[in-house]
Structure 1
C-alpha cells in the first residue's frame, strides 16, 4: 500500500502532511503564505476561494505579485468587480491597460457563463471573479472548467460562505488587520492550521477596517485599484468571443 501511495503523490496525501498539485503553481509573492500552501504558491487549473469579511481589505494587494506574473504572458480578466478598474493605478502596478479585460453582466447566470467561457478559452492568464451567491453545482462546473487549463482562478466570496461545502482545494478567509491582512486557512491539501496568519502588505493603512458596511473611510482606497461603482452592462453572451 505504501508503494502505491508514494506513486500517486498528487492524488493521495496524508492529513498530517502537506499535499501537492499536478498543475503548476505561481508564488504568491509572500514567503510566509507560500510556506503554508501546497507546492508553495497559488495553484493553477483549480478554483481558489478568497472569503472576504468585506471588500476593500487588501485582497488585491495580496494578489498583486501573481497578477503581475500572469500579465506578462496573457490578459487578466476581472469579472463582476465591485468597482470600475482604475487604469492609472493598475498601470503603476506594472499591469498594462491592454492586458486587462473587464466584464460586468446584468445577471448572475451570465456572469457564471462568462467565467466558464474564460476558463475554457484559455486566452487569459488569470481570472478574478466576484460573486455573492453561487450554488454548489455551479462551483463544481467552474472548478472542472479550470482543471482543463493553466489559468489562475480566484473567486471572491463573502466570509459567511466558509461554512458551505465547496470543491475548491484551497479556501482562505481574509480579514482586515493593522498594516496588512489576517488569513485563516479554511481548506488546503495539508494539515489543519488553527493559527491566523498575518501578512504585512505595502500601502495598507495603519488601522484596520472594522466596519461591517464598507465606507470610504474604512476601505483602503488603492487596494483594488477600482474607483466608482460599475454600471450595468450588456449580458455576457453579447461579448465578442475573442474577448473570452
Structure 2
C-alpha cells in the first residue's frame, strides 16, 4: 500500500508527525524537537507563539535556533513591546550587530514592514509581535513566508488561541519554574493534549556583557507603503 508521503510530501497520516515535508532549524530543546514535525522549527512558514504577556521566555526559547543562523544575516525584530536589551543578547552569545529593530507607528505599517522583510529574503529570522491581526493578514504573511527560507515567528496574545490560524505550527507558552510549559495547539500530526516542559538557560549577565554594547540597528522612519526601505534593499 502506498504511503501518503509517497503520494505527495505534504501529506501525512493523522496519527503520525509529518516527515520530510519542510526545511527546518533544530530547536536546541530535545523535548520540544521530539514533538515537532521533522524535529525542528519549520523554515519558510508562519510559526505562532502565544503568550499570556511579553517576556515569559519566548526569546530564550528561540535562542538556540537563532545562534545557528549565519552571522551575516540579520535578525529582524518588528514591533517588540520593549526596546531590545543588548546586554541580554550578548550574554546569550548572540551578536547584537545582527539585530534589525523595526518599530512602525501603526498596525498597518507593522504588517507592511513584516511582508517586505519576508519578500526581501536577506534576514535569517523575523520575529514580529502582532497583538491584533486579521486572519486574512496572517494568510498573506504565511504565503510570503513560503517563498523564503527564514525563520518566521509571530508572537501573539494567549487569547488568540480562540481564533483559527493559517500557521501550520502554533504553540501556547506559559511560565514554569526554570523554563516554560509548552502546549502544542497545532502541528502537522496528531493532537497533542498534554503540555510539555522545556527547561531554559538563565539569562545570566556577566561583567563583560554589561560593558558598552553597540546599539540596535533601528531602521529610519518607515516609508510610505509600496516603497522599499533602503535598509532592506538587496
Is TM-score (shorter-chain normalized) higher than 0.5? yes
The aligned residue for residue 82 of structure 1 is: 81
Counterpart CA distance in 1 for 2:54 and 2:223 is 23
What does residue 207 of structure 2 align with?
none
Q: Is the 8 A contact 2:26 2:65 kept in 1?
A: yes
Match of residue 212 from structure 2:
none
Three-state SS of the structure 1 residue aligned to 2:54 is: coil
Structure 2: distance between partners of 1:13 and 1:23? 12
Counterparts of 1:105 and 1:86 in 2: how far apart (Å)? 19
Query: Do the aligned partners of 2:5 and 2:12 also contact (CA within 8 Å) in 1?
Result: no
Runs of 4+ in 1 over 2 A off after TM superposition: 2-6, 20-23, 233-244
Q: 1:73 to 1:35 in 2, by over 3 A?
A: farther
1:58 aligned residue: 57
Instruction: Look up the match of 1:234.
Output: 221
Q: How far did 1:5 drift?
A: 2.4
Would you say the 8 A contact 1:103–1:236 is kept in 2? no
Contact 2:120/2:232, CA 8 A, preserved across alignment: no
Cα offsets for 1:69-114 (capped at 9, x unmatched): 1253411000000111122221232222221100001100000000
Deviations, residues 200-226 of structure 1 (Å, cap 9, x unaligned): 112179xxxxxxxxxxxxxxxxxxxxx
Give, in angstroms, the shift of residue 187 of structure 1: 0.1
User: Secondary structure of 1:181's match?
Assistant: strand
Query: Contact (CA 8 Å) 1:77, 1:126: kept in 2 or not?
Result: yes
**Structure-1 separation of matches of 2:156 and 2:43:** 19
Change (3 A) 1:23 1:15: closer
The correspondence of residues 40-189 of structure 1 with structure 2, limited to 5 A, is 40-189=39-188
- Give the Cα separation in 2 of the matches to 1:204 and 1:74: 23
Q: 5 Å matches for 1:212-231?
A: none
SS in 2 for 1:70: coil
Q: 1:188 to 1:93 in 2, by over 3 A?
A: same
8 Å contact kept, 2:91–2:203: no
Q: Compute the TM-score of the two structures, normalised by the length of structure 1.
A: 0.83
Gaps of 5+ in 2: 205-219
